[in-house]
């Protein structure tokens, strides 16, 4: 996909995840996801990439909360391992072989579009998040419902240090995301070769 739909644009959970169901019906067998996120873990820096190991859904809803969900998969979807372990391991190995730094951590999803307050960044850290962003989790829930193996990587575009928080610079966030893209493409290309 070139881009995606977000809750903050006014789309609902079903709109956002519609393309995942369409791609599933077209026959895809695996799902790769990328996103931009803020670094809650202060050992991570702007421009780092983070392999998502697990997530925290703070978007206040679910794309599976509708009447006939059982036609697509089971009603109560297991989320004990939402990100495919084998692909994660492969991606970590590839990053080492290629000398591309890849952190690992927990992604928390919020609605946005406003960035977080200092108090919210503190809360996210206490909750166990390493990164925060405004996407991905609805798609991952639906892909788990469809039993599609998933691998997801965040580009960390800003450092969310509540004690030294600077006003958000959207131009810089976009520039960092663009500058990191070739490294992410390299990792994903190599992973495709190994699957």
Rounded alpha-carbon distances, angstroms, from residue 99 to 5, 17, 156, 183: 33, 34, 18, 10
* Residue 152 is a binding residue for ligand HPA (CB under 6 A): no
Hey, what are 110's tokens?
Answer: 């919020």
Hey, what are 178's tokens?
Answer: 């663009």
Q: In angstroms, rounded to a whole number, what is the distance separating the alpha carbons of residues 153 and 103?
A: 9
* Residue 108 is a binding residue for ligand HPA (CB under 6 A): no
Residues 62-91 that bind ligand HPA (CB under 6 A): none
Beta strands per DSSP E along the chain: 31-39, 49-57, 102-109, 131-133, 150-159
* Residue 138 is a binding residue for ligand HPA (CB under 6 A): no
Q: In angstroms, rounded to a whole number, what is the distance separating the alpha carbons of residues 139 and 4?
A: 10
Residues 25-54 that bind ligand HPA (CB under 6 A): 36-38
Closest CA to 4 of 156, 124, 148, 112: 112
In the set 115, 150, 176, 184, which binds ligand HPA (CB under 6 A)?
115
* Residue 132 is a binding residue for ligand HPA (CB under 6 A): yes
Rounded alpha-carbon distances, angstroms, from residue 49 to 41, 100, 123: 12, 9, 22
In the set 34, 136, 144, 157, which binds ligand HPA (CB under 6 A)?
157
In the set 20, 94, 134, 140, which binds ligand HPA (CB under 6 A)?
134
Q: Residue 84 or 135: which CB sits closer to ligand HPA?
A: 135
Question: Minimum Å distance from CB 146 to ligand HPA?
Answer: 26
Secondary structure (3-state) at 55: strand
Q: Residue 143 or 177: which CB sits closer to ligand HPA?
A: 177
Q: Residue 115 or 187: which CB sits closer to ligand HPA?
A: 115
Contact positions toward ligand HPA, by CB under 6 A?
36-38, 110, 115-116, 132-134, 157-158, 160, 173
């Amino acid at each position: 996909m070139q881009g995606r739909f977000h809750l903050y644009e006014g789309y609902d959970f079903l709109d956002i995840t519609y393309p995942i169901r369409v791609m599933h019906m077209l026959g895809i067998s695996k799902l790769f996801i990328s996103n931009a996120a803020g670094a809650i873990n202060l050992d991570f820096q702007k421009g780092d990439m983070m392999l998502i190991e697990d997530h925290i859904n703070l978007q206040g809803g679910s794309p599976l909360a509708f009447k006939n969900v059982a036609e697509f998969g089971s009603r109560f979807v297991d989320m004990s391992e939402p990100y495919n372990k084998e692909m994660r391991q492969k991606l970590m190995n590839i990053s080492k072989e290629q000398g591309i730094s890849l952190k690992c951590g927990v992604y928390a999803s919020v609605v946005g579009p406003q960035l977080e307050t200092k108090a919210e960044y503190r809360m996210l850290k206490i909750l166990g998040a390493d990164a925060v962003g405004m996407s991905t989790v609805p798609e991952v829930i639906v892909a788990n419902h469809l039993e599609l193996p998933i691998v997801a990587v965040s580009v960390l575009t800003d450092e969310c240090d509540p004690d030294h928080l600077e006003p958000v610079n959207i131009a810089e966030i976009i520039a960092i995301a663009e500058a990191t893209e070739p490294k992410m493409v390299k990792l994903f290309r190599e992973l495709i070769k190994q699957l």
